Chains A and B, each alone.
Chain A
Amino acid sequence: MSTEKLVVTASPHIRSQDSVPRIMWHVVASLVPVVLAAAWFFGVSALLQIATAVIAAVLTERLTGKGGAIADGSATITGLLLGLTLPAGFPLWMTALGTAFAIIFGKQVWGGLGQNVFNPALVGRAFLQAAFPVAITTWPSPGGGFFALHGDLFAIPLTHPLPNAVTSATPLGLLKFEGKGTAISNLVIGSTGGSLGETAALVILAGGVYLAWRGYLNWRVPVSILATVMALSAIIHFIDATKPGALFMIFSGGLMLGAVYMATDMVTSPITNLGKWVFGVGIGILVVVIRVWGGLPEGVMYAILFMNALTPFINRATQPRVFGTRLVSVT
């Protein structure tokens, strides 16, 4: 210290070890098993799909964001999550377009990381659903060998994909439009039709438990969503047995991925713990309402986006009570 080049920072002078990139990359790491599960069921198509989404997300972030923003890992998460919401055979050019849309209109136009109101991955997914309604609901059956290319992955941009022979409806679609059920065991394991990340509920749950244990995910959100969905659907199933039961509801469709990885997005969910309960219960109610009475078989995406929009109001209504402001008379 003879030269006395001392650091002078404001207090506190120490900080906990966690940082934004560390949180983000932990989320990425916890999604790796989900990606592997998708690859197990849908083969190389799944990997191509997810890789396209991630590369498109990172490239878009690089072109539109501030320097160094890629390192925070948030674009990688958006790419991963969007890729996991797509069917295995979805044309890759559409994937890239949707991911670019997700980064630009889901995040950057709001002011970048931390500023957006809606979950970027779901913004991209909503865009794709509106733009390519047929392609995004063409679900290849799982299996067919690892190197089998599902659907029309390499459709030339701006053309419609060729129809694929081996497709199957999702369990939710089967139930809604054909009145057929699916065995719960198949749902839990994931050997059903559906989007890449829709099928491996247990792997997703394990990732969520890990993140919650590390403190990188607020358990109140998935717990309140899943509990609400289970409770409501159990009641409805009790009244009308043709409606799906509790277990079917939570293990089918995108609910698990949505509850664990999308609704828990810190940026777009309420900041207060009470608000997180409100948020989760709201999503749970909306999911059940859309699935049971709505025109669509699945409603997780719209349920989360809708509650994203309400987040600022939930925050305002659930501010914690400041110490020393309790309305009691003190002796």
Chain B
Amino acid sequence: MMSFATGFRHGVHPPEEKGLTSHVPIRRMPYPDELVLPLRQHAGKPAKVCVKTGDHVERGDVLGEADGFMSVPIHASAAGTVVDVGWWPHPDGSMAESVRIKVDRFAPQVARPRMVPHWEGLTTQQVVKAVQDAGVVGLGGAAFPTHVKLAPPKDHHVHTLIINGAECEPYLTSDHRTMVEYPGRVHFGIRVMMRAMGVLKCVIGVEKNKPDAIEALRRTVPDDLDVAILPLTVKYPQGAEKMLIHAVTGVEVPSGKLPVTVGVVVQNVGSVSAIAEVFETGLPLIERIVTVSGHGLRRPANLIVPVGTKLRDLLAYCDGVTAEAAEVIIGGPMMGQALANLDAPVIKGTTGVVVLEKGETREAAVYPCIHCGRCLDACPVFLNPSLLGDYARTQQYEQMVDLHLSDCMLCGSCAYVCPANIPLSQLFQASKLALRRAQPAVA
């Protein structure tokens, strides 16, 4: 079962830049004056707002309720007063309905007395419900509701839980620090998940550039659980779900299918430790570990940040940006989102904030494709980005479907290596969007 392969073919090697924060212990950021909590912080339906302007909320109170199964609630990350419910810049670049809270400076910031669910006595459905009620989503970036993964379709047998500790994006170290500093919490979250799903085997995949994380996890593996730690080849995008599953099981997830069809469920390190917190403290997901890094930042750090903290406040807490700072990215530099408006908040899916300096950005002349083939050698799912790019620019979307555009995960490897500086990821993202609009069933 365990494959000899701990990597995958193709992929790229961007500079890791993790040394800026990989040794910096996680610290807690103080509460800012104001928090902004978008109702849309996860994949699926946005939460339904259930507070109004003027309401007083305690830390952990529900601001928006889950709207169906493919949705999670949003909680107040600090005690304070709701000052507005309205549109506000979202870190994905759009505007989103958000609850703004003026933080009460003199509140003790302890949550209301609450029940800590005793997980061993719970049925699977009750665990799923508890995780959903706590608003837990995938903390690796995609923010897929975690409870949905806990309840896989009945017609599939899940034999392995895979924990994603690859953290292959440059700069980001939040998962790394979580594994080093809270390995016990990671294992506890795994225990709850394995129990709830009835899975007997778990593999934690960690890139080899984090030996201290591998060591910490190995040291703390519970005796009664079948948990293996698998060191992975350092390569981008090793942390992509399909690449990770291939590295662990040697199996390729069929095109267009979910991992559960090959009997595995993948969960991010941060997400399992969030599950652990739910069953340790009863607190919902109201804060997360964020790597704030980049050469354009004065004091890079790994911080526990209240969800809803504005980027402006976060950067200010890190002593601000340098004179050469040019671009602020939410997430990592390969798949993250550049932002112009620093009023946008940190949300549940924010893995990091990276500030690039002038000269580090990809502002450069764009040349025609010279068919060098580097993108083909980079694409982890063996697409032909060069040809796809030609079709995208001429808007021949049907041909792109035939070339498996739907298998593109927008990892950016092709655009990273492209010597012509063609924005391939952007073209593919736009093409997917155009196809979705034209034909909701495709892509």
Contact = CB atoms under 8 A, between A and B. Distances in A.
Interface of A: 1, 4, 6-16, 18-23, 68, 72, 112-115, 218, 266-267, 269, 271-273, 315, 319-326, 330-331
A273 B379 CA distance: 13
A113 to B, nearest CB: 5
Given A16-B416, A114-B370, A271 B407 contact: no
A16 B14 CA distance: 7
Interface string B316-353: 00001100011111000111111110100000000000
B138 interface: no
Contacts of B281: none
Contacts of A6: 326-328, 338-340, 342
Interface in B230-257: 242, 251-257
A81 to B, nearest CB: 15
Interface of B: 12, 14-15, 93, 170, 242, 251-257, 261-263, 315, 320-321, 325-329, 333-340, 342, 354, 356, 360-365, 367-373, 376-377, 380-384, 386-387, 403-404, 407, 410, 412, 415-421, 423, 425-426, 429
A5 to B, nearest CB: 9
Contacts of A13: 327, 329, 333-334, 336, 338, 354, 356, 361-362
A319 B403 CA distance: 9
12 contacts: A7-B356, A10-B425, A11-B334, A11-B425, A12-B415, A18-B417, A20-B420, A269-B371, A272-B384, A321-B382, A322-B383, A323-B242
B281 to A, nearest CB: 35
Contacts of A326: 252
Given A12-B416, A330-B261, A325 B404 contact: yes
Given A7-B327, A18-B417, 16 more contacts: A11-B415, A12-B14, A13-B329, A14-B361, A20-B367, A20-B419, A23-B370, A23-B372, A114-B371, A266-B372, A271-B376, A271-B386, A320-B376, A324-B381, A325-B255, A330-B254
The 3 closest A-B pairs by CB, nearest first: A12-B412, A114-B368, A10-B426
Contacts of B361: 7, 9, 13-14
A324 B170 contact: no
B257 to A, nearest CB: 7
Nearest to B336: A11
Most chain A CB neighbours (cut-off 10 Å) among B320, B326, B419:
B419
A293 B315 CA distance: 74
Contacts of A7: 326-327, 338, 356, 361, 363
A331 B425 CA distance: 33
B319 to A, nearest CB: 12
A23 B368 contact: no
Contacts of A19: 364-365, 367, 419-421
Contacts, number: 177
Contacts of A218: 373
A6 B407 CA distance: 32
Contacts of B256: 324
Contacts of A323: 242, 252, 255, 380-382, 407
A15 B253 CA distance: 29
A15 B364 contact: yes
Most chain A CB neighbours (cut-off 10 Å) among B256, B364, B377:
B377
B155 to A, nearest CB: 14
Contacts of A320: 376, 382-384
A179 B325 CA distance: 71
B371 A324 contact: no
A115 B394 CA distance: 14
A100 B377 CA distance: 35
Contacts of A23: 370, 372, 419
A322 B382 contact: yes
Nearest to A327: B254
Contacts of A15: 362, 364, 415-418, 421
A273 B356 CA distance: 35
Contact of A8 (B263, B339, B412, B415): B339
A330 B251 CA distance: 8
Contact of A22 (B12, B14, B415, B419): B419
A6 to B, nearest CB: 5
Contact of A266 (B252, B253, B254, B371): B371
A218 B377 CA distance: 11
Contacts of A14: 14-15, 170, 333-334, 356, 360-362, 416
Contacts of A269: 371
A246 B317 CA distance: 71
A24 to B, nearest CB: 9
Contacts of B387: 271, 315
Contact of B370 (A8, A68, A113, A321): A113
A1 B325 contact: yes
B298 to A, nearest CB: 11
Contacts of A21: 367
Nearest to B427: A10
A12 B362 contact: yes
B408 to A, nearest CB: 10
A9 B429 CA distance: 13
Contact of A324 (B253, B325, B329, B342): B253
B362 A72 contact: no
A267 B373 contact: no
Nearest to A111: B368
Nearest to B367: A20
B340 A8 contact: yes
B376 A272 contact: yes
Nearest to A331: B263
Contacts of B365: 19, 68
A1 B416 contact: no
Given A8-B327, A15-B364, A267-B371, A1 B321 contact: yes
